A and B are shown apart, each in its own frame.
Chain A
Amino acid sequence: MTVLSGRSRLVTLHLASRRVPVAVAVLLTCALVLRIALHRTWDAYGALQLPLFFETGCAVVIAATTASPFGEPERATGRWLPLLRLGTVLALTAIAVGALTALTTGAHLAGGSLGVLRNTVGSTGIGLLCAVAFGGSLAWTGPTAYLVAGVYALYTQWHGPALTTPVLWPARPSSDVKAAVCAGLVFVAGAVLVMVRGSRDSLTRA
């Protein structure tokens, strides 16, 4: 009983230190706003690009939760830390994908649920890699830059020459296996690195 309560307290404290409750609220808000937005009729660009913005929005929020307010002391004492980091990332990613999929059920969502899964997972992976490289606070830069490239890649589907590389997975059909593998690999790499190393202490505190 004491062990169980101790573990649950550890998990609770870890989640609180990463502002996970706020993150979950933001993820649900993202999904809700996307649902409301899908009620409107969008032109071809808008319909394709809109989900990508919200998927990336979820990804940057997940990446931001990796920032630790404690730094070195936490790393020195936390035996369970790698598992807590991994668990947090996996849980938040699942919540994001689940919320985006569930709340957009019945609406015309470009790419469908598979597209949501691939894009959210891929962008989160980029965010996690950036968290390891630049710190959790600046982890948004990677997914945001990738969003710009992804939006442009979608644009080239009308105004060629079309970009078809699987590395730019948002522009590929949701059934494209290579694109899904790319996104998945990036996520796995990001999740493993965050689990092992955690997010870097911020490069700049400015």
Chain B
Amino acid sequence: MTAAGRLLRLELRNNVMLWLLPVAGPLFWFVTFRPGLAYPPMWNLRATAMQTSSLAVFVPLVVGAAAWSGSREGRHGVTELLAGNARARWARQFGTWAATTCWAIIAYLTCVGVLYAVTAGTAAWGGPLWWPVAVGAASLPAFAALGFTAGALRPSRFTPAVVAIAAFLALEISANFIQGFDSHWQVSPLVANPWSLGADEGIATFYRYLPDLAIAQILFLAGLTAALMGLLGLPAGAGGSWLRRSATALTIVGALCAGTAVALAGTGHLDKNGMIAIPTLHNSAYDRPVPYTPVCSQTPIPVCVHPAYSRYLPAVVDGLAPVLTEVVGLPGAPVRVDQVAAAYEQGSDNDAGIARSGAAISGTPPVFNVLLPTQMAHRLSAEELTGEVRVGMARDLVQNLTGGGRGADDAQEAVTEAMARTSTLPPGSPVAEAARRFTALPAATRHAWLMAHLPALRAGQLTLAELP
């Protein structure tokens, strides 16, 4: 084994990060694993949430441990004694920092591995997202370097404690400064997808996870690591002249990389698929939709969703079922209901518009295209989703059939209300009364009337008095 290998082995055995692993494990379970499993088993949701929350677990511990390790020589008052050591101080410090980083990365990958293994067993579609893992892993050397440098430059009993809290504070509040999708602050490794969109099932489902921002973040973190570790080699006692020149070069290159990454993050924009695209780093291959085989219901009119959404299918079918039974076989009725991707549009500041991509009805025979509600994971129970589908998608489907919606006449409004089983009309009004009468008809009678009169109703040729 080489001298460097032996040094690393010694440092690994004595490193304080090893003592902190029993703290990191339960914290990861509490802050990342447990909430992660509360999300539906969708890779995009769990991986992006993991990136944000796991950093909150590891960063303060890694920074504190690294600061403690970095201040070792100073705390023990042996800096001058070790000046005559065969190894340059910078090389010794590298060994200590590497050991701290190694334990941190091992712990991080183990924790993430468990989360991913559990997700792999339950996910309905897709595979692991590795970019969030890579950003998290790249963060640990950078934050270890931050803590280590602070500890080495200011060795004190207070340094590990204060630097750990300060680094955690800086990490957490960095998200507060994100204003708009071209914010430089998006370079913060906390950010896995557009910050204001939250846990959105539609992102990285119909299209691949866009790595533009992750690449910029990794570049930033690598640059930060290099610059901070380079700083340690600058003082006179750090090593020989060639070593200090190397440290200077490392610091400059690191600072340039970090600065470039910050600049790149500032050129980002919200792409139509809901992720941050950075033109310089963008690969257009990621703009192509991911092929998939939809999961469909066994209903008179099949309802088909993306396989990642298969757990939502029963609730969606429950919401649509009354309307599907009503419209099946009618002239112009859709032969299938298809889930389509959302189209994202950048607004001002952190606002974004989310709409259905494409038309509501497409193809011959007609297919009705629907956009499922966004951020369902934490917002809606199955019953709430059914209710939202009933008043939103089901009514939308009926309106497309009857010609209801904006600018609809009274007859169209009444039939739409009756078929969608909603109550949006003023109680007691003639339209509401007509809707009530139409609802009260036997289903067969209603269906027969619609078969005969739907084209005329859609064309706006019927009056309220002509309704049965």
Residues of B near A152 (CB, < 8 A) are 30-31, 35, 53, 56
Verify if A14 is at the interface (C-beta below 8 Å from B).
no
Distance in Å from the Cβ of A189 to the closest Cβ of chain B? 19
Contacts A61-B161, A141-B61; is A148 near B27 (CB within 8 Å)? yes
Let me know if A147 and B72 touch, CB within 8 A: no
Majority SS at the chain B contact face: helix
Let me know if B19 and A43 touch, CB within 8 A: no
The one of B15, B72, B172, B378 in contact with A151, judged by C-beta atoms closer than 8 angstroms, is B172
The one of A23, A26, A53, A144 in contact with B61, judged by C-beta atoms closer than 8 angstroms, is A144
Interface string of A130-143 (1 = CB under 8 A from B): 00001011111100
Residues of B near A43 (CB, < 8 A) are 176
Verify if A79 is at the interface (C-beta below 8 Å from B).
no
Distance in Å from the Cβ of A24 to the closest Cβ of chain B? 11
Kindly identify, within residues 116 to 138 of chain A, every residue whose CB is under 8 Å from any CB belonging to chain B. 134, 136-138
Residues of B near A19 (CB, < 8 A) are 156-158
Interface centre among A49, A60, A145, A149 (most CB of B within 10 A): A145
Residues of A near B57 (CB, < 8 A) are 148
Distance in Å from the Cβ of A196 to the closest Cβ of chain B? 22
**Measured CA separation A204–B156 after assembly (Å):** 16
Interface residues on B, range: 35 or more
Residues of A near B168 (CB, < 8 A) are 53, 144, 147-148
Q: Chain B: which residue is nearest A63 at the CB level?
A: B161
The one of B14, B68, B160, B165 in contact with A57, judged by C-beta atoms closer than 8 angstroms, is B165
Verify if A104 is at the interface (C-beta below 8 Å from B).
no
Interface string of B336-369 (1 = CB under 8 A from A): 0000000000000000000000000000000000
Verify if A56 is at the interface (C-beta below 8 Å from B).
yes
Residues of A near B160 (CB, < 8 A) are 137, 140
Q: Chain A: which residue is nearest B158 at the CB level?
A: A64
Let me know if B23 and A145 touch, CB within 8 A: yes
Kindly identify, within residues 15 to 52 of chain A, every residue whose CB is under 8 Å from any CB belonging to chain B. 19, 22-23, 26, 42-43, 45-46, 49-50
Verify if B20 is at the interface (C-beta below 8 Å from A).
yes
Residues of A near B76 (CB, < 8 A) are 205
Let me know if A57 and B173 touch, CB within 8 A: no
Let me know if B173 and A159 touch, CB within 8 A: no
How many A-B pairs with Cβ below 8 Å? 99
**Measured CA separation A134–B20 after assembly (Å):** 11
Verify if A160 is at the interface (C-beta below 8 Å from B).
yes
Verify if A67 is at the interface (C-beta below 8 Å from B).
yes
**Measured CA separation A140–B19 after assembly (Å):** 13
Let me know if A206 and B69 touch, CB within 8 A: yes
In this complex, how many residues of chain A approach chain B with their Cβ under 8 Å: the count is 39
Let me know if B60 and A57 touch, CB within 8 A: no
Verify if A203 is at the interface (C-beta below 8 Å from B).
yes
Let me know if A50 and B173 touch, CB within 8 A: yes
Let me know if A42 and B165 touch, CB within 8 A: no
Residues of A near B157 (CB, < 8 A) are 19, 64-65, 67, 136-137
**Measured CA separation A50–B172 after assembly (Å):** 9
Verify if B443 is at the interface (C-beta below 8 Å from A).
no
Kindly identify, within residues 13 to 43 of chain B, every residue whose CB is under 8 Å from any CB belonging to chain A. 14-16, 19-20, 23, 27, 30-31, 35
Distance in Å from the Cβ of B70 to the closest Cβ of chain A? 11
Let me know if B378 and A160 touch, CB within 8 A: yes
Q: Chain A: which residue is nearest B30 at the CB level?
A: A149
Residues of A near B15 (CB, < 8 A) are 206
Contacts A138-B16, A152-B30; is A144 near B60 (CB within 8 Å)? yes
Kindly identify, within residues 156 to 182 of chain A, every residue whose CB is under 8 Å from any CB belonging to chain B. 159-160
Verify if B162 is at the interface (C-beta below 8 Å from A).
yes
Q: Chain B: which residue is nearest A23 at the CB level?
A: B158
Distance in Å from the Cβ of B446 to the closest Cβ of chain A? 42
**Measured CA separation A189–B176 after assembly (Å):** 37
Verify if B223 is at the interface (C-beta below 8 Å from A).
no
Verify if B136 is at the interface (C-beta below 8 Å from A).
no
Q: Chain B: which residue is nearest A18 at the CB level?
A: B157
Let me know if B56 and A148 touch, CB within 8 A: yes
Interface string of A184-197 (1 = CB under 8 A from B): 00000000000000
Contacts A46-B173, A149-B27; is A144 near B165 (CB within 8 Å)? yes
Residues of A near B19 (CB, < 8 A) are 134, 138, 203-204
Distance in Å from the Cβ of B67 to the closest Cβ of chain A? 10
Verify if B164 is at the interface (C-beta below 8 Å from A).
yes
Verify if B290 is at the interface (C-beta below 8 Å from A).
no
**Measured CA separation A6–B47 after assembly (Å):** 63
Let me know if B165 and A53 touch, CB within 8 A: yes
Kindly identify, within residues 88 to 106 of chain B, every residue whose CB is under 8 Å from any CB belonging to chain A. none
Let me know if A204 and B172 touch, CB within 8 A: no
Residues of B near A45 (CB, < 8 A) are 175-176
Distance in Å from the Cβ of A98 to the closest Cβ of chain B? 20
Residues of A near B56 (CB, < 8 A) are 148, 151-152
Let me know if A140 and B161 touch, CB within 8 A: yes
Verify if B249 is at the interface (C-beta below 8 Å from A).
no
Verify if B169 is at the interface (C-beta below 8 Å from A).
yes
Contacts A144-B60, A147-B60, A148-B57; is A60 near B165 (CB within 8 Å)? yes
Kindly identify, within residues 153 to 196 of chain B, every residue whose CB is under 8 Å from any CB belonging to chain A. 156-158, 160-162, 164-166, 168-169, 172-173, 175-176
Q: List 9 A-B contacts (CB under 8 A).
A: A49-B172, A60-B161, A137-B68, A137-B160, A138-B16, A141-B20, A145-B27, A147-B168, A160-B378
Known: A53-B172, A61-B158, A145-B60; 19 extra A-B contacts, CB below 8 A, are A22-B158, A53-B169, A56-B165, A57-B162, A64-B158, A136-B157, A137-B68, A137-B160, A140-B165, A144-B165, A148-B56, A148-B57, A148-B168, A159-B378, A204-B14, A204-B16, A206-B15, A206-B69, A206-B72
The 4 tightest CB contacts between A and B, nearest first, are A140-B161, A60-B161, A206-B14, A53-B169
